Amino acid sequence: MKTSEKILVTGATGNIGRHLVSLLAEAGVAVRALTRDPGRAGLPGGVEVARGDLTEPETLEAALEGVDAVFLLWPFFSAAGAEPVVEAIARHAHRVVYVSAFSVQDGRDTAQNGVWGEIEELVRRSGVEWTFLRAGGFATNTLGWADDIRTGGVVRAPYAGAARSLIHEADIAAVAFKALTEDGHSGRSHVLTGPEVITQADQVRVIGEVIGRPLRFEEQPREEAREQMIASWGDPAVVDDALDYWAGIVTEPEPVTTTVEEVTGRPARTFREWARDHAVGFRPARDVADA
């Protein structure tokens, strides 16, 4: 990468994006952060912030002006609307690093690979250089349990034994940084996971140990969970796929890769490390105030 190149980071105020923007800025890389509300971005000083919305592709042209590479995170359950976004990126940038999912498999029909496979195909067809970060489950998703943990100490969810290789968002950002700033990543699909497999019940236990409170995982019936998830997620098919997947990894745990260490030179962070980094999110307000 030439030091004069500029990188646009989508999702710049999100969990991965904030880490990536900081890494790029600290390295002296010209970075432009895309956000729907620049006034509330709260990013490091000196970082250029541009307004843009992935659901409104026409807002991206100005943000893409003069950009050489793009970090793309598509935060939706559907690829509808993604094509004009990828086309806009391809008109300006020559390199894209896209956060995909490790469920994507080469050689399968695009439809079988879900929204992530659809966007991978759009990026391939666009003609830009690409790197796909096929990430496993985000450890940050366990923050969805935070209210239950703060108020009652009991997490009710399906499939206590679902065994996951959750990844710290900072590790995804670290690999993205390398893919954006170093040669040798074009045309590669990096499969990213945490360094261990840990069941959902054990995730709750570890969070409790970190915050110093006894926590308990309570198995939730599938149908009850399904109703709640449909109310939140909206698409029954997506919910059913997720539940089927979690059921499957009770007996066949998610794989573990060493890609984070191979790319960055440091081992992927454990779930316990992630929990320590986010402990404040699980503690009751009174505990945070007393800390």
Per-residue pLDDT at 33 exceeds 70: yes
Per-residue pLDDT at 221 exceeds 70: yes
Q: Which of 44-48, 127-131, 269-273 has the lowest mean pLDDT?
A: 44-48
- In total, how many domains does the chain have? 2
Q: What is the pLDDT of residue 2?
A: 52
8 A C-beta contact, residue 273 and residue 168: yes
Q: What is the pLDDT of residue 114?
A: 87
Whether 110 and 200 share a structural domain: no
Which residues face 99 on adjacent strands? 133
% of the chain residues with pLDDT over 70: 96
Tokens of 220: 């939730």
Domain membership of residue 244 (yes or no) is: yes
Axis-axis angle for helices 15-26, 169-181 (nearest 10): 40
Pick from 33, 188, 22, 23: nearest CA to 100: 188
pLDDT digits 0-9 by tens, 238-253: 899 999 999 999 999 9
Whether 92 and 215 share a structural domain: no
Axis-axis angle for helices 236-251, 222-233 (nearest 10): 140
8 A C-beta contact, residue 277 and residue 169: no
Whether 140 and 251 share a structural domain: yes
Tokens of 234: 């909206």
| SS3 state at 164 | strand
Whether 48 and 152 share a structural domain: no
Q: What is the pLDDT of residue 202?
A: 98
pLDDT digits 0-9 by tens, 148-201: 999 999 999 999 999 999 999 999 999 999 999 999 999 999 999 999 999 999
Top pLDDT among 72 and 3 is at 72
Domain membership of residue 181 (yes or no) is: no
Domain membership of residue 236 (yes or no) is: yes
Domain membership of residue 180 (yes or no) is: no
User: Rg of the Cα trace of the chain?
Assistant: 19
pLDDT digits 0-9 by tens, 2-25: 556 899 999 999 999 999 999 999
% of the chain residues with pLDDT over 90: 85
Q: What is the pLDDT of residue 188?
A: 97
Range of the domain at 213: 136-167+192-255+267-291
Whether 158 and 280 share a structural domain: yes
Whether 127 and 150 share a structural domain: no
Whether 64 and 147 share a structural domain: no
Taking 3-state DSSP, the helix, strand and coil percentages for the chain, each rounded to the nearest 5, stand at: 50, 20, 35
Give residue 104's identity as a one-letter amino acid code: V
Top pLDDT among 65 and 77 is at 65
Q: What is the pLDDT of residue 245?
A: 93
CA distances from 155 to 7, 148, 206 (A): 40, 6, 13
Domain membership of residue 186 (yes or no) is: no
272 contact partners, CB below 8 Å, separation of at least 6: 206, 209, 210
Sorting pLDDT into bands at 50, 70 and 90, what band is 1? low
Domain membership of residue 1 (yes or no) is: no
Domain membership of residue 172 (yes or no) is: no
Whether 145 and 196 share a structural domain: yes
Residue 227 sits in a domain of what CATH number?
3.40.50.720
Tokens of 260: 């984070």
Sorting pLDDT into bands at 50, 70 and 90, what band is 147? very high
Domain membership of residue 185 (yes or no) is: no
How crowded is residue 92: how many other Cβ atoms within 10 Å of its Cβ?
18
Whether 43 and 81 share a structural domain: yes
Q: List Cβ<8 Å contacts ≥24 apart for 31-38.
A: 31/6, 31/7, 32/6, 32/7, 32/8, 32/63, 32/67, 33/8, 33/9, 34/8, 34/9, 34/10, 34/60, 34/63
Q: What is the rounded CA–CA span in Å between residue 197 and residue 167?
A: 10
Q: What is the pLDDT of residue 286?
A: 62
Per-residue pLDDT at 290 exceeds 70: no
Of 88, 120, 135, the one marking the end of a domain is 135
Whether 18 and 129 share a structural domain: yes
Q: Give me the mean pLDDT over the 80-102 stretch.
A: 97
Per-residue pLDDT at 111 exceeds 80: no
The residue behind tokens 């440091």 is 266
Whether 157 and 275 share a structural domain: yes
Q: Give me the mean pLDDT over the 88-97 stretch.
A: 97
Whether 73 and 198 share a structural domain: no
Pick from 146, 159, 172, 181: nearest CA to 250: 159
Give residue 120's identity as a one-letter amino acid code: E
